[in-house]
Structure 1
Amino acid sequence: MRVLIVSDAWHPQVNGVVTCLQALVDELGALGHEIRVLSPLDFRCMPCPSYPEIPLAWNLWKVGQLIERFAPDCVHLATEGPLGWAARRWLKRRGLRFSSAIHTRFPEYVHTRWPWVPLSWGYAYLRRFHRLSQAVLVSTARMRDEFAAARIERLRIWCKGVDTQVFQPRGERGVRAVFLYVGRLAAEKNIEAFLALDLPGEKRVVGDGPLRAQLQANYPEAKFLGYQHGEALARSYAAANVLVFPSKTDTYGLVMVEALACGTPVAAFPVAGPLDVLEPGVTGVMHEDLRQACLDALLLDRARCAERAALQSWRVCAQEFLGMQVCLQGRPLRLDKPATVTG
């Protein structure tokens, strides 16, 4: 099959969406399919206000030309940004089917950055974007139920995986306890809930984002290591005693699965994401008192963490995605016969 993925999140961005899509592209390619990612790299872009690391494409009139040139068998809209909307509009005008995904809690993220924006506006935005999608892919049953309560329809569960060839246990820990955070340094990640804790040992932060300078100034005792990838990231996970996941707005949290694959247990709040990924008392500790969760997680068996994570694979994830695309299309895309769709 010729699979087109449209995403406003792509390299050189570093986040869970990009990690997931790159793994999907790699696995589908290995299975013999032809993949094209339509991303900001194909367009002229401007930086996102308040988050310049995120590029926003603006010469969107190219979208239709690029879709026609690739002539896909199926189209998946991975994000609800400018590219996602432009592709949706072009597909709608021609009566062509597509799937979409909710990778992030968009309403909560917007509300965190701009508290005067009501959550109801964010969910109205999501409903409108995904209204014509043949299937809206979400990571967990909990997310399916929550988004269904927000009146988003045709939700389907699409599980995520981990690269166990890269992320695996290593004996690299020192004498001092190491508490690690991995992710964007942005307001919605609630990272200060971790950095402000009184914990024994050392705090390390892997990642970057708009809050880095402020956080480094406010918490000089923590080590800020910037972005890491592949083997370097795997070594950071393995060198930590606990991964601390302070976010309360994630839909999943791939970094938790990567840490577990390296044998590192997780401390988190008992919210969606951790509740779906962690097995309490086995792979992580969830508690409203994050400090207590961190201390209790030090006692967990690292071997059992790695065993649980090893059961998840990106190949299975890719095969599930492909199976859904085959079922959803029902007929091949016909780019030569425009049609009109209302709604």
Structure 2
Amino acid sequence: MKKLVIVTDAWHPQVNGVVRTLAKCCELMAERGYEVIVVSPQDYRSVPCPTYPEIRLAMTTPSAFRRKLARLNPDYVHIATEGPLGFMARRACLKMGWSFTTSFHTRFPEYLLDRFPIPPKWTYAFLRRFHNAASHTLVPTQSILDDLQERGFTGLELWTRGVDRTLFHPRDDVTRELPQPVFICVGRVATEKNLPAFLELDLPGTKLIVGDGPALEDLRSRFPKTVFVGKKEGKDLARIYASADVFVFPSRTDTFGLVLLEAISSGLPVAAFPVPGSADVVGATGAGILSDDLHKACLEALEMPAFDPAEVLKPFTWKACADILENVLSSTKSVAQPVGKPDNQPQTVASGG
């Protein structure tokens, strides 16, 4: 049995696309005969992230982490995040001469720019240095892959996502008591999700926000006519999706957005900006409207003819997601062999922006 260690700073009890993707992949890889071990902040003392208290930062030392990784004696190491554990895993693998893979889930340069005056080209140079030491870096969409290639990232592999079609399907009447139509947005209620771009729109019916996060109370006070229902999961979430009319995705920085697949699987047309992530999913499925005028996109999506979720979502399956990960691992040298991409070691010239 092959042993796969996944190192991630994002894990339960966080609720986000990264955690859900990794959890599903752990399940599928275990079904394929792998022993999957997740190393996360749950294994250590941790402190809350300054601007995201629900995100925990692990407290350990590089030497202690390296000893732990050596004791685990894996066949493969996958580093899923660029946080404290991710950096210690990268450092440990390089020090021990182990090959490893990484994945790019989050556009941190754009997230940071929302909060601090840090030029994205600096942050991308930092991330390029991190990922180019890996044998392969998995990315969620073609547009993100193209962008990272232009910025000097190497060893990139497209890593699609999936959706549970047995859970998310049309249609329910749980929100039928609300003024119609219902425009819904699901996800973390945080600055980077750009929710005011949706909530400020003059739309008929009801705006419904599903999710929790640091910006929730502020947005509740600013937009009293919006219905905020908090975090929902499983069947409760599926019923809300299936009772809405349009899914609105105002984020400009998400690399993918699993919620897009869930909405489309529920028969909802999507209204979104024409940016990477949204454009990849909506473009591949045709199940929505992309426009820099989000108001126009919402109203046009409302008038779209019905589509067959099973048909438009054929490219997006969790099996395909697991297939890609397994293929990448099988083409990666085991950790007992030397690192296989010396020409992709850290570079010193910043590019992109």
Superposed pair shares fold, TM > 0.5: yes
The answer (yes or no) to whether the contact 2:287–2:307 under 8 Å persists in 1 is: no
- Evaluate the alpha carbon distance shift between residue 281 and residue 318 of structure 1 in structure 2; reply closer, same or farther with a 3 A threshold: closer
- Evaluate the alpha carbon distance shift between residue 287 and residue 239 of structure 1 in structure 2; reply closer, same or farther with a 3 A threshold: same
- Report the Cα distance in structure 2 between the residues aligned to 1:231 and 1:69, rounded to whole angstroms: 40
- Report the Cα distance in structure 2 between the residues aligned to 1:99 and 1:301, rounded to whole angstroms: 42
Q: Which amino acid aligns with 2:181?
A: A
Q: Which amino acid aligns with 1:263?
A: G
Q: Which residue of 2 aligns with 1:17?
A: 18
- Report the Cα distance in structure 2 between the residues aligned to 1:304 and 1:82, rounded to whole angstroms: 43
Q: Which residue of 2 aligns with 1:323?
A: 327
**1 or 2 for the larger relative contact order (CA 8 Å, sep ≥6)?**
2
Q: Which amino acid aligns with 2:216?
A: R
State the SS of the aligned residue for 1:171: coil
- Report the Cα distance in structure 2 between the residues aligned to 1:168 and 1:32, rounded to whole angstroms: 30
The answer (yes or no) to whether the contact 2:97–2:335 under 8 Å persists in 1 is: no
Q: Which residue of 2 aligns with 1:237?
A: 241
Count of residue correspondences = 337
State the SS of the aligned residue for 2:283: coil
- Report the Cα distance in structure 2 between the residues aligned to 1:121 and 1:54, rounded to whole angstroms: 24
Q: Which residue of 1 aligns with 2:189?
A: 185
- Evaluate the alpha carbon distance shift between residue 108 and residue 326 of structure 1 in structure 2; reply closer, same or farther with a 3 A threshold: same
Which portions of structure 1, spanning 4 or more consecutive aligned residues, are displaced by more than 6 angstroms? none
Bigger Cα displacement from structure 2, 157-166 vs 298-307: 298-307
The answer (yes or no) to whether the contact 1:77–1:98 under 8 Å persists in 2 is: yes
The answer (yes or no) to whether the contact 1:265–1:305 under 8 Å persists in 2 is: no
- Long gaps (5+) in structure 2: 347-353
- Evaluate the alpha carbon distance shift between residue 159 and residue 311 of structure 1 in structure 2; reply closer, same or farther with a 3 A threshold: closer
The answer (yes or no) to whether the contact 1:135–1:155 under 8 Å persists in 2 is: yes
Q: Which residue of 2 aligns with 1:267?
A: 271
Please say if 1:94 is aligned against 2:96. Answer: yes
Q: Which amino acid aligns with 1:243?
A: F
Please say if 1:107 is aligned against 2:109. Answer: yes
The answer (yes or no) to whether the contact 2:79–2:101 under 8 Å persists in 1 is: yes
Q: Which residue of 1 aligns with 2:59?
A: 58
- Evaluate the alpha carbon distance shift between residue 139 and residue 280 of structure 1 in structure 2; reply closer, same or farther with a 3 A threshold: closer
The answer (yes or no) to whether the contact 1:283–1:304 under 8 Å persists in 2 is: no
Instruction: Give % identity.
Output: 44
Cα deviation, residue 310, structure 1: 5.0
- Report the Cα distance in structure 2 between the residues aligned to 1:125 and 1:235, rounded to whole angstroms: 42
1:1-343 map, 5 Å: 1-61=2-62, 62-114=64-116, 116-172=117-173, 174=176, 176-279=180-283, 282-309=286-313, 311-329=315-333, 332-334=334-336
The answer (yes or no) to whether the contact 2:285–2:313 under 8 Å persists in 1 is: no
Cα deviation, residue 228, structure 1: 1.3
Over the aligned positions, Cα root-mean-square deviation in angstroms equals 1.9
The answer (yes or no) to whether the contact 2:289–2:297 under 8 Å persists in 1 is: yes
- Report the Cα distance in structure 1 between the residues aligned to 2:79 and 2:124, rounded to whole angstroms: 17
Cα deviation, residue 64, structure 1: 2.1
Cα deviation, residue 99, structure 1: 0.5
- Report the Cα distance in structure 1 between the residues aligned to 2:71 and 2:243, rounded to whole angstroms: 47
- Report the Cα distance in structure 2 between the residues aligned to 1:170 and 1:213, rounded to whole angstroms: 30
The answer (yes or no) to whether the contact 2:113–2:120 under 8 Å persists in 1 is: yes
Deviations 1:102-143 (A, max 9, x none): 1011100111121x1111121111011112110111112211
Cα deviation, residue 244, structure 1: 0.4
Cα deviation, residue 306, structure 1: 4.6
Cα deviation, residue 158, structure 1: 1.0
- Long gaps (5+) in structure 1: none
Give me the TM-score of the superposition, normalised by structure 2.
0.91
State the SS of the aligned residue for 1:279: helix
Deviations 1:125-172 (A, max 9, x none): 101111211011111221111011111111111111111121122233
- Report the Cα distance in structure 2 between the residues aligned to 1:310 and 1:163, rounded to whole angstroms: 12
Give me the TM-score of the superposition, normalised by structure 1.
0.93
Deviations 1:289-335 (A, max 9, x none): 10110111112234434531255211221121011101122xx3239
The answer (yes or no) to whether the contact 1:96–1:334 under 8 Å persists in 2 is: yes
